[in-house]
Amino acid sequence: MQNLLILLAGGIAMTVGDLVAGKWVQNKNKFLYIVVIILYLIGLNFLIQSYRYSDIAIASILLDLFNVITLTVAGIYLFKENITKTELAGIIVGFVSIVILQL
């Protein structure tokens, strides 16, 4: 459970980094670029810390999955994006695959 919380925190940091990167692309503010790099480093630090509790491959996949889920939620609520049934199915399959790998 501790590992999942570490990876969730890392996924959220990466998601915030992705959102700030989107703003940076729009206006090329150097400060935003530095914030993006720091957020990505924070996210990767959580990933590295999680290696103490799980396999590298599983931890990396979990971080990516948490990043995709939080980006999807952010897209829906912040940017009013729609998620297709195929995209939702992909997220569910990713989640189920992690559960199977953890058995």
The string of pLDDT tens digits covering residues 47-73 is: 999 999 888 888 888 888 888 888 888
Tokens 């980006």, located at residue: 71
pLDDT score at 2: 83
Which one has a higher pLDDT value, 57 or 31?
31
* pLDDT above 70: percentage of residues in the chain: 98
Which one has a higher pLDDT value, 57 or 15?
15
Residue 42 tokens, joined: 């924070």
For residue 86, pLDDT over 80 is answered with yes
Which one has a higher pLDDT value, 18 or 94?
18
CB neighbour burial string for 61-82, b if at least 16 within 10 angstroms, e if fewer: bbbebbbbbbbbebeeeeeeee
CA atoms within 13 A on the CB side of 89: 3
